[in-house]
Amino acid sequence: MMLMRTDPFRELDRLTQQLLSTGARPEAMSMDAFREGEAFVVELDLPGVDPGSIDLDVERNVLSIRAERRTTASSESSDVLIAERASGTFSRRLFLGETLDTDRIEASYEAGVLRLRIPVADEAQPRKIEIRAAEGSRKEINA
C-alpha cells in the first residue's frame, strides 16, 4: 500500500523547511485566551505531547511555556513516507499584567490541550465603595 498526496507543492515546502531549519528553533503553539469570572483562562494546543515534558515558569510577570513532542518513528528501523506532524520543542511566552496573581496559576492538561487559569489579584478585584452621609445632613423624601 502506498500513501499519496494530492498537493505536490506541500511536500516541496516541507522539504525546503527541513533543509533551511536547524531543528533547534521552537515551534509555535496555538492559543485561545478569555476571561471566565474572576480569572483569565488560556488554552494552548499541544496534541501528542507527554504532560511530563511540559515546563511552566513565571518570572517578573512573564509566563514561559515549553513542551516537547518526539517523533514516534525511529530513524533506524522506519522508512518514513510522510512526516507532516511537527515534532521537537514548542514554546510560547505570555506577558501577564500586574493585576494577575501569578502565585495562584492553575494548570491542567487534557485531550492535547493545556489549560491555564490565572486569577485576578485580590487587590485588583472591583469593590464597592460605601458612601456615608456627613453628620448633620439629612435627606428627606417628599411623598
pLDDT tens digit sequence for 89-108? 888 899 888 888 989 999 99
Higher pLDDT, 92 or 17: 92
- Whether 1 has a pLDDT exceeding 50, the answer reads no
Q: What is the rounded average pLDDT of the residues 99-125?
A: 89
- Tell me the pLDDT band of 117, cut-offs 50, 70 and 90: very high
- Whether 18 has a pLDDT exceeding 60, the answer reads no
- Whether 14 contacts 82, CB under 8 Å: no
For residues 100 and 102, give the distance between their C-alpha atoms in angstroms, rounded to a whole number. 6
pLDDT value of residue 124: 57
Q: How far is CA 141 from CA 101, 138, in A?
A: 45, 10
What's the whole-model pTM score?
A: 0.65
pLDDT digits (tens, 9 = 90+) for 40-99: 999 999 998 999 999 999 998 889 999 998 877 766 777 878 877 888 888 889 988 888
pLDDT value of residue 113: 96
> Which three three-digit cell numbers place residue 91?
514554546
For residues 2 and 24, give the distance between their C-alpha atoms in angstroms, rounded to a whole number. 31
pLDDT value of residue 2: 38
| Residue 22 burial (10 A CB sphere; 0-12, 13-18, 19+) | exposed
- Whether 14 has a pLDDT exceeding 90, the answer reads no
